[in-house]
Structure 1
Amino acid sequence: MSIIPRCPDCETEMEKGFVPDNTFLGALQTVWHPGDPESAGDTFFGMKVKNRTKTVHIDESGTRKISTYRCPTCGLLRSYAE
């Protein structure tokens, strides 16, 4: 996002960051995936992506990295798939 958003609550310029997605291998940047998640039943992962039959599988061609902006005044977070 080339334009820094302003907080809709207090009109302060927001600061860019991200929310890490913690895994057993470390931390990754969270991504947006199209579609609705479905329960994976009794699997370790807890969810699957629609139209997948086994463990979590992500079609990376449709994903977008998520940047999160934080208002330094009131703490509001707004996330954007970029």
Structure 2
Amino acid sequence: MAKTSSRSGRRPLAPEAGHALPEAERTCFECGGPMERGFSPDMTHGGTARHLWVEGVFEKSMWTGYKSKGRRQYFVETFRCAACGALRAYATEPK
């Protein structure tokens, strides 16, 4: 069970690393409606990729587009409220 946040008594903004949003907590933080799993494809030259969260400040790289060596990287999982359309993204799965 996730610990609650001190500022609102709600659970923290993201679940523990490596865990998807628990089924019981898939309710919208805005309106209380049901959340549905989805994804935001990252459009690349010649295809698509999974959306990533990368630790730190963006630094341009001539070879790869951004510097990522030594930085934590996580795939992003996105949920959408079926009632109001609010999106909630979680960086839970290490790359």
Answer yes or no: is the 8 Å Cα contact 2:52–2:75 preserved in 1: yes
**Structure 2 residues not aligned, in runs of 5+:** 1-19
CA distance in 2, matches of 1:60, 1:16: 30
Q: Is 1:3 the equivalent of 2:3?
A: no
Distance 1:36 1:65, change over 3 A: same
Q: Which amino acid aligns with 1:25?
A: G
State the Cα distance separating 1:2 from its structure 2 match.
4.3
- Between Structure 1 and Structure 2, the one with more strand by share is 1
Tell me the matched-pair count. Answer: 69
Per-residue deviation, residues 6-45 of structure 1 (Å, max 9, x unmatched): 101111120011100001120111011000113xxxxxxx
Aligned residue for 1:37, secondary structure, equals: coil
Q: 2:35 aligns with which of 1, 4, 14?
A: 14
Question: What is the TM-score when the length of structure 2 is the normalising length?
Answer: 0.63
Q: Taking structure 1 as reference, are residues 62 and 23 closer, same or farther at Cα in structure 2, changes over 3 Å only?
A: same
Note the C-alpha offset of 1:61: 6.4
Q: Which runs of 5+ in 1 are unaligned?
A: 39-47
Q: Taking structure 1 as the reference length, what is the TM-score of the superposition?
A: 0.72
Matched with 1:67 is: 77
CA RMSD after TM alignment: 2.0
